[in-house]
Structure 1
Amino acid sequence: MTQLGYIAILVLWACSIALAISCGNIENGSVKPRFFFQRRKRTFECNAGYIAENDNNRIECTSSGWSPVPRCIPIQCGRIENGKIVDKVEEKTTFQCNHGYKSENGINETTCTSEGWSPVPICIVQECPHPPDIDLAEIVSGEKAEYQEGDVVQYRCYPGYTLAGPERITCSGEKWTPPPKCLAPCIITRQQLETKKLLLSNGRRRTVLIQSDQTMEFLCGEHSDLKIPYPIKCVDGHMDLPTCISGTGEKCGRPPTIKNGDITTLSLKEYVFGSSVEFKCQHYYIIQGERKSYCYNGNWTKPPVCLEPCVITQEDMRSHNIDLKWASAQKLYVSHGAFVEFKCRSSLSPNSSNNHRVQCHAGQIPYPQCT
């Protein structure tokens, strides 16, 4: 190509740019292609969420500007009922249903077209199944045919049974929060007391009923040298009665020590037969076993143990891609037997092999893993 030809092309290119600049940008749209040489007719496209005012999207850049004037107007898709738009990337719109609702088809992406949303985003009410049936209990309030997010029902145990756990449960995320349990009482008969040579704390024998988690003191009766009271706890219908035997009356030395705990009184060098000491655990530690230890035949009865709490740190949660669901703390102490709930961090989903709600067991907690 001659030098004159190159010059002609450059002139045309420069004119094209000047012409395009004189016509200006298209609000909420763009011209395709951006530069041209010989043809003046051009096509324009509207940005996502907008549509051409007229069906014809062919325009011409003239000395007076675009002809016809291109206009991109918003598409009137309307609001998402019971939901909201959270993100828009090009043509794809991401929506989220409000609390208590879920996407009908499980899809949370849609596109705004001239005909409206496609597919149509529909948020339906989240529902729970019928509340769980609990043995030896009945629902006393909140019962109905259908249950939606936030509904609450209340349980009550039959007379004599003890409610363990919350008396009210809530419909949350199409399932119920953990239900309570009804614990059975303990029945100690007169015959059992006679067989074990036991007396009640008043020195008499009769059949008694002790509710779960309650304690009762027993005394050793006739033919026994040990006259100290035995406080025994009823645990869901089960109660281990003590056995009374004759003792030698030997004294005991200093009481045993327990890890992460101590006795509630000043330790002595010597204790007489039948003496007792009571133990307590450090803060956050849970005592397991009988709180008191007795001096019997020169030896102390078995002391309790202090079960350590679980320590939840930001470092541990970060390594499992989780956060606390109901709290925000750099470090959290959870007592043995207590439950704690976690949630996955942003844009992460829970591993199906783990639960969000886990229980602390003697300092160990099974963290859920989010990937």
Structure 2
Amino acid sequence: MSPKASYRENERLQYQCLPGYSYSGRAETVCTDSGWTPPPSCKERTCDPPRIANSHFVADRSKYRVGQAITYYCKSGFYPPPRGNTAKCTDIGWDPPPRCGFKPCDFPEIKHGRLYWGHSYRHYFPASPGQKFDYHCDENYVTPSQDKWDRITCTRDGWTPKLPCRRKCIFNDLENGHRPQDPRQYLQGTSVNVNCYPGYMLQNQQTSMTCTENGWLPPPRCIRVETCLKSTVTIENGFIADSESTYPLNKVTKYKCKQGYVTEDGHTSGYITCLQNGWSAQPRCISLSTVKHPAICKLPREPVCIPL
């Protein structure tokens, strides 16, 4: 660093290695009666070829000098570090250390929930498989264990649980229908059958509600539906045996013919359906005596041949 022509005993000489070389000992040496101690030297800095598991990397040389870089590619299902698939040889080795691991997890966007102190956690991301973080759900949403908070874990397949916050629906009322005696809770994806008052049905004529991300579908409300009156059916020579006076939409009911009468297709009973515009038909029963029976032909007698 400050060269002189000669040095006296015990004088120190300081030196600096050129780029790409490092000190074998330290950056100075002392003049002694046996010469320079320790002997000044600059050794070429190199990195051994890295062994990268789960990669396709094949080294093209036996040593890499400081400053030289490599590019490697991972096998299917494995990923390089967040800083990329390039590593450079430095004084302290490869930077960043080349590796092919499971895919890291980006900052989780939790629908209907959030990480505890998420703004403080952001420097931890992307997260490595195995890392866990606490999170909590919004009002009316719960974790898979039905608590308000839980832990979300980074795995090789991404974050788990896949659905951190699920809707919690409460069934405690049913407009125009029979409500439960005590409020009941249902999780997103589950269904419950309901019992509407006569002449009422759920929206779209459904008989059950499903707890969805946005609440009950259809809503817990029974609406009046078109009905058919028993009094509007006049069955000639027949009758409806049911005791009901009204029938809901799409209800099928059976009618019977009086003794000695049959339906037009020859049966003693038939069916009619309550449709949007009323009964599907105005049936009638006809007398058995008016029913045409199929003709019956007897086999002809054996023909007789006579001489010409």
Q: Normalising by the residue count of structure 1, what TM-score does the alignment of the two structures yield?
A: 0.31
Structure having the higher Rg: 2
Q: Taking CA–CA contacts closer than 8 Å with sequence separation of 6 or more, which of the two structures ends up with the larger relative contact order?
A: 2
Q: TM-score, normalised by structure 2?
A: 0.35
